[in-house]
Amino acid sequence: MKATARAHTNIALIKYWGKRDESLILPTNSNLSVTLDGFSTETTVHFREGLKEDSFLLNEQKVEGAALGKIAVFLDKVRALYGKEIYAQVQSVNHVPTAAGLASSASGLAALAAASSKAIGLSLDNMELSRLARQGSGSASRSIYGGFVEWQMGEREDGLDSYAVQIADQSHWDIRIAAVVLSKTVKKVSSREGMRRTVETSPFYAGWLEQTAKDLQEIKQAIIAKDFEKMGSVAEANCLRMHATTLGANPPFTYWQDTTMRVMQTVQNLREQGIPAFFTIDAGPNVKVLYLPEDEAKVKNSLQAMEDVEDIIISKPGSGISYM
Ligand code: PMV
């Protein structure tokens, strides 16, 4: 009862920002991401008779407390599907450059969903797997697939119709995504807390919801047509609107640092020089820059020349779940 799976992380071009059901993790809006080949998690799950509890090793270090709790709560859902109490040893390796401060919950929970369901003997199709991964971390529902992926919010209260689908695979379009790692980052508001506070208190939230549905339709057309300017400008505007909702929350907050804004300005300067480059930012200070392969040298040089930029990690669209 042992299996190993690998999943890549993803970056949202149309953000998931708000839950309508916190325990099932059902979003308030459909959203879309691109899977990144530069960051992945490989996870082995071994269910064994006689174990009294789950255990978790991350990058060969024993993990306890809240992080182990999250794994155990997720494995409870897998055990419920299987219908028997049996505990597991979980081992994960994050292939995300250390200290990058980049979200690994999408790749982590997607790999855990795939490895644990296979180890316990369930043979889930991608739709079922996406639905399961969603219940670990919303963005993980998208990491089941490679390329460009939409998480369809669904309408049902039980979440059966809330899962991701592939819009175009990783070979569809050769774009680049640079993750700009900043040297000094402060502790952030978790995405869970940030979403909750914004949904409950920000007067800007209604405007965000209204516009994001339009953004999603536009970006899907742009992706299919390989219209880079369109895709980039919709993604950037959608990111700015998501972050604007946090300023209206009570108490207000922002994920941006001064360095975040300087990277945004560098990207805008590149555009003024005629280079199509666009940014997007998740629930943290790091910025991801979208550009075309032929502009790589110019984009990289501009970013590298910046103070407080520690590293630049370049990805292409990556693949979905695989088993080892
Ligand atoms: O799945 P979570 O809980 O890590 O939330 C992700 C939220 C954002 O990264 C801000 C947006 C997104 O769609 O990934």
The ipTM of this complex is 0.98
- Regarding the beta carbon of 137 and ligand 1, being less than 6 Å apart is answered yes
Which residue has 């994960």 as its token pair?
92
- Regarding the beta carbon of 141 and ligand 1, being less than 6 Å apart is answered no
User: Residue 121 C-alpha to ligand 1 middle, in angstroms?
Assistant: 29
Q: What are 69's two structure tokens?
A: 């709790």
- Regarding the beta carbon of 321 and ligand 1, being less than 6 Å apart is answered no
Mutation choice for ligand 1 from 13, 14, 16, 162, CB with most ligand atoms inside 8 A: 16
- Regarding the beta carbon of 139 and ligand 1, being less than 6 Å apart is answered yes
User: Into how many domains does the chain fold?
Assistant: 2
Rounded CA-CA distance 280/26 in Å is 23
On the question of pLDDT at 91 being above 70, the answer is yes
Please give the single-letter amino acid code of residue 112.
L
Do 25 and 151 lie in one domain? The reply is yes
Q: Express each pLDDT in 253-265 by its tens digit.
A: 999 999 999 999 9
Domain extent for 66? 2-172
Choosing from 172, 192, 219, the residue where a domain stops is 172
For residue 148, being part of any structural domain is answered with yes
Atom in ligand 1 nearest the alpha carbon of residue 192: 3
pLDDT for the residue numbered 148:
98
118-127, 180-189, 298-307: range with lowest mean pLDDT:
180-189
Do 78 and 226 lie in one domain? The reply is no
Residues 6+ apart with CB under 8 A from 119: 1, 2, 3, 45, 46, 47, 88
Widest CA span in the chain: 64
User: Residue 177 C-alpha to ligand 1 middle, in angstroms?
Assistant: 17
Do 164 and 270 lie in one domain? The reply is no
Give mean pLDDT, residues 10-26.
97
For residue 320, being part of any structural domain is answered with no
Choosing from 172, 203, 231, the residue where a domain stops is 172
Q: Express each pLDDT in 100-120 by its tens digit.
A: 556 678 999 999 999 999 999
User: Residue 160 C-alpha to ligand 1 middle, in angstroms?
Assistant: 20
pLDDT for the residue numbered 101:
56
- Regarding the beta carbon of 105 and ligand 1, being less than 6 Å apart is answered yes
φ/ψ region of 60 (left if φ > 0, alpha if ψ in -120 to 50, else beta) reads left
Q: Express each pLDDT in 266-291 by its tens digit.
A: 999 999 999 999 999 999 899 999 99
Atom in ligand 1 nearest the alpha carbon of residue 33: 13
Do 148 and 270 lie in one domain? The reply is no
> Which residues in 82-238 belong to E strands, given as ranges?
87-95, 148-152, 163-168, 176-182
Q: Express each pLDDT in 130-168 by its tens digit.
A: 999 999 999 999 999 999 999 999 999 999 999 999 999
One DSSP character per residue, 284-320 reads SS-EEEEE-GGGHHHHHHHHHTSTTEEEEEEE-B---
pLDDT for the residue numbered 102:
67
Minimal CA–CA distance to 56: which of 41, 40, 67?
67
- Regarding the beta carbon of 16 and ligand 1, being less than 6 Å apart is answered yes
What is the average pLDDT score of the chain?
95
